[in-house]
Amino acid sequence: MVVSSSNLRQLTIALGIGTVTAGVLPFLAPELFARVFGLPRGESPAADIAIRSVSARDAINGIGILSATIHGGRVAPWILARALSDGMDTLAVGLAWKAGARSPRLLALGAIALGATIVDTLLYLGHKRAARTPQTR
């Protein structure tokens, strides 16, 4: 799939905004996130640590994607980091599923992570292709 540089930029900005949003919301409301996706919740605030850690990672990655895109920096490494993170999230859900966590809501979370991994990879490849293509003025 080949897209124009302006479309690639728009898609990347949308990815950055989506990544920040997908990070900030669960960070602020980890119990709601756990409930929506069927994740276990504990009685102590420590149960929210994993959700907040992953959420912070995503928000920071989204900020990096946005900043690199807006300021003309190297965005491909940020997108690669996101693709690898989303891929590991997909794998983690798959391992939980294999171990017996058969919640359809958990499966939905895994499907979202898999879809994100695919989008991330396509955008990463688009940026790598654009970096190799000579710019005409």
Q: Does 137 map to a domain?
A: no
* Residues 17-71: tens digit of each pLDDT: 999 999 999 999 999 999 999 988 877 788 799 999 999 999 999 999 999 999 9
Q: Does 69 map to a domain?
A: yes
* Rounded CA separation 18/49 (Å): 22
Q: Does 23 map to a domain?
A: yes
* Residues 60-110: tens digit of each pLDDT: 999 999 999 999 999 999 999 999 999 999 999 999 999 999 999 999 999
**Structural domain containing residue 79:** 5-132
Domain tally, the chain: 1
Asked whether residue 136 carries a pLDDT value surpassing 80, the answer given is no
Q: Does 31 map to a domain?
A: yes
**pTM for this entry:** 0.91
pLDDT at 137: 43
